């Protein structure tokens, strides 16, 4: 922040930016008194931040205004949240205290501002780190813990913090690169999964795209350009696809709107990376969203209309059965409800169609705020709320007395990323478990005593062992015996933290002599009790400085990289998009550096791996190897190719000097007759 006298242009800009917020707030506030409080908060914050500028040179007050806009327009929160968003930096950055806020704006606003102040950028002040007695890692984990703890007091604090983080991401270009990398890594590690779990799709998507712009700029630019080209050439086909749907729904008397959506650059990039496909193989680039007003508050009638609309549109176009996603019968744990299907257009293009009621669309776009608004109006019962169950589970984890902050952060991170399955009790009651859960996990989820006395299970009426892995929609009955008790090998296949802890509690209370063995098994469970071979990190010395090339992502010259300074003065170098690097930057923020690629002209043996897919023919292998070895002079170290029913696929590991060489190689192999795709993989 800098301090310079505001000009007339600055004051005009502030007024211009505040005007649309005032309009949005006026519609959201329930009384004139509430809107007067918003106006008062703006005037107070504007005076408090007077003559203060952001790194961009703009008046600082534009940041709280922007955060408040996100709070009301994207999240849909009300008066007190708008006021808190406008005031959220006042206590941190000015002479005013929380007590001052309480006197002027009341206890609830003061509580929200206090919560936001406590979780603001603790690691920006290195002296605070030293004075606190915490290590850098544990202090940053404590910061995240505070964020999550506020969900128990008032989830609005977390929602305003997400709005604050989104605007910081929008203006991140003005940050120095090392700070930018730290903020974006934190964003991907915690805030994006948190936005997803709270159902804030638009915020999640925007943060993902900003992350991609700075972490993998070449990939982002390529995908954005290809998407624009595809939309320009095929956009009219979507309009042609929509026209019969629109006519049919109008004829049946529905009150609806149809929206067109193009897959986001990040979601395309992620799919290309995880599915190992090229851009041209992304067949669900387009989506069409049908949002209808059911004209009733009856959830049964609302859901019936969803299925009726599905019946109407599938009478017009053929649909792909294995791409049908019914999140109406089984909503996602973030409250998301919709019916998704993929239809074949008359021009031969697959198009995803999403069917939502207006209520479902509100929840999908605004997440937990809309979810609770409908719930408070009596629409959603407590028992139906997967969101409430998840929030309760998170609070139980956070309050666990035997977890340090780093362990807690790891558990929360894994939970945020975990996918879930829905299973059923013998009476048809719904239970949500993590994907990969076993029958034993289900038993402990029902009740600790059921778990302790379990001996077997019936899954879909078929007798199974307790180690049986459950799948979506399974119905499970646990068979118990009064004299049964937990066995040592249960630690080996229990996957939930709850089940493992209950098993350990049993041994601690009843068979303490076995507890040490149980803990040993638990410690080696992730590797099956066997050591895991890891590639050795590569070391390059340049100018007397040791650069360690991380084996988890194997960056090569030309890749965007992030560095971490080690105590011995060496630098660990990762790709910016590496998941390990994201985790490190989220717990070792003060160690982040921006290494420039060293002069590695003399180093030509950076290992990379590519995957190939194509139509087999005589001479295919010879053409590939000649292109690599003879035409481009690149050394191969491993080649695995297989052919079945005329289709070949495989992988090649080779050594290159830099990313430019690799991309030229991929392009040259792609031009070989019969090759369908060539994609870089993680080693």
C-alpha to C-alpha distance for 330 and 262, rounded to whole angstroms: 26
C-alpha to C-alpha distance for 481 and 643, rounded to whole angstroms: 52
C-alpha to C-alpha distance for 87 and 113, rounded to whole angstroms: 7
**Which alpha helices (DSSP H) does 322-404 contain, by range?**
358-366, 368-376, 386-398
Tell me the CA distances in angstroms from 109 to 47, 105, 156, 157, 167, one per residue in order. Answer: 18, 6, 11, 10, 21
DSSP state of 322: G
Does 93 qualify as catalytic in the annotation?
A: yes
Does 218 qualify as catalytic in the annotation?
A: no
Strand partners, 479: 456
Residue 85's closest CA among 60, 121, 108, 112?
Answer: 112
Residue in 12, 23, 47, 92 annotated catalytic: 92
Q: How many CA atoms lie within 13 A of 398 on its CB side?
A: 21
C-alpha to C-alpha distance for 40 and 18, rounded to whole angstroms: 13
Q: What is the DSSP string of 505-539?
A: HHHHHH-HHHHHHHHHHHHHGGGTTSPPP-PPPEE
Tracing tokens 């608004």 back to the chain, one arrives at 373
**φ and ψ of 595, to 5 deg:** -70, 135
Written as six digits, the tokens of 137 are 């890692």
Residue in 17, 58, 93, 658 annotated catalytic: 93
Q: How many CA atoms lie within 13 A of 227 on its CB side?
A: 19
Q: What is the DSSP string of 42-54?
A: HHHHHHHTTTEE-
Q: What is the DSSP string of 276-328?
A: T--GGG-TT-EEEEEEE--SSS-HHHHHHHHHHHHHHHHTTS-B-GGG-EETT
Contacts of 496 (CB under 8 A, 6+ apart): 433, 434, 437, 441, 444, 445
**Active-site annotation, residues:** 92-93
């Amino acid at each position: 922040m800098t301090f310079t006298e505001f000009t007339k242009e600055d004051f005009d800009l502030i007024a211009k930016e505040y005007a649309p917020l005032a309009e949005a707030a006026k519609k959201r506030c329930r009384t004139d008194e509430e809107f007067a409080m918003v106006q008062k908060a703006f005037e107070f914050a504007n005076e408090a931040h007077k003559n203060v500028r952001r790194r961009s040179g703009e008046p600082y007050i534009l940041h709280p205004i922007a955060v408040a806009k996100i709070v009301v327009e994207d999240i849909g929160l009300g008066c007190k949240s708008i006021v808190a968003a406008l005031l959220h930096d006042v206590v941190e950055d000015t002479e005013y205290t929380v007590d001052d806020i309480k006197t002027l704006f009341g206890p609830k606003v003061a509580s929200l501002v206090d919560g936001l102040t406590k979780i603001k950028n603790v690691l920006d002040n290195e002296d605070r780190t030293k004075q606190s007695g915490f290590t850098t890692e544990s202090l940053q984990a404590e910061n995240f813990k505070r964020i999550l703890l506020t969900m128990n007091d008032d989830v609005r604090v977390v929602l305003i913090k997400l709005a604050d983080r989104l605007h910081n991401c929008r203006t991140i270009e003005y940050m120095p690169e090392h700070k930018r990398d730290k903020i974006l890594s934190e964003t991907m590690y915690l805030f994006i999964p948190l936005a997803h779990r709270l159902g804030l799709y638009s915020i999640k998507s925007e943060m993902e795209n900003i992350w991609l712009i700075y972490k993998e700029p070449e990939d982002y630019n390529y995908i954005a350009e290809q998407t624009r080209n595809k939309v320009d050439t095929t956009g009219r086909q979507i309009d042609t696809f929509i026209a019969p749907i629109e006519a049919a729904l109008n004829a049946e008397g529905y009150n609806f709107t149809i929206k067109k959506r193009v897959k986001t650059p990040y979601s395309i990039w992620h799919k290309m990376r995880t599915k190992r496909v090229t851009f041209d193989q992304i067949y669900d680039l387009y989506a069409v969203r049908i949002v209808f007003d059911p004209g009733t508050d009856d959830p049964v009638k609302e859901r019936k209309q969803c299925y009726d609309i599905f019946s109407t549109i599938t009478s017009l176009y053929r649909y792909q059965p294995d791409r049908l996603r019914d999140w109406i019968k089984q909503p996602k744990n973030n409250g998301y409800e919709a019916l998704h299907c993929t239809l074949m257009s008359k021009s031969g293009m697959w198009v995803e169609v999403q069917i939502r009621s207006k209520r479902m669309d509100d929840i999908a776009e605004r997440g937990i705020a809309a979810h609770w608004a409908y719930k408070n109006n009596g629409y959603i019962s407590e028992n139906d709320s997967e969101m409430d169950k998840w929030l309760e589970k998170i609070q139980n984890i956070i309050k666990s007395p035997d977890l340090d902050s780093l362990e807690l952060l790891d558990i929360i991170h894994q939970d945020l990323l975990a996918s879930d399955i829905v299973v059923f009790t013998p009476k048809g009651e719904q239970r949500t478990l993590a994907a990969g859960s076993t029958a034993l996990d289900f038993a402990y989820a029902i009740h600790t005593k059921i778990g302790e006395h379990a001996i077997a299970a019936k899954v879909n009426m078929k007798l199974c062992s307790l180690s049986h892995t459950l799948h979506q929609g399974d119905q499970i009955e646990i068979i118990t015996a009064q004299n049964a008790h937990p066995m040592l090998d249960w630690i080996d296949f229990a996957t939930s933290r709850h089940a493992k802890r209950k098993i350990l509690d049993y041994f601690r209370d009843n068979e303490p002599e076995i507890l040490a063995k149980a803990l040993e098994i638990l410690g080696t469970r992730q590797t099956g009790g066997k050591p895991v071979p890891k590639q050795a990190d590569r070391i390059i010395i340049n100018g007397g400085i040791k650069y360690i090339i991380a084996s988890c992502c194997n960056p090569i010259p030309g890749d965007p990289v992030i560095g971490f300074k080690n105590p011995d003065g060496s630098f660990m170098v990762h790709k910016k998009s590496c998941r390990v690097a994201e985790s490190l930057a989220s717990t070792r923020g003060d160690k982040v550096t921006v290494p420039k690629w060293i002069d590695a002209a003399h180093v030509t043996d950076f290992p990379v791996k590519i995957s190939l897919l194509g139509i087999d023919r005589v001479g295919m292998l010879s053409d590939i190897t000649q292109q690599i070895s003879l035409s481009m002079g690149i050394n191969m170290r491993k080649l695995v190719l297989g052919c079945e029913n005329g289709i070949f696929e495989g992988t090649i590991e080779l050594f290159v000097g830099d990313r430019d060489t690799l991309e030229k190689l991929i392009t040259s192999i792609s031009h070989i007759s019969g090759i369908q795709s060539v994609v870089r993989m993680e080693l």
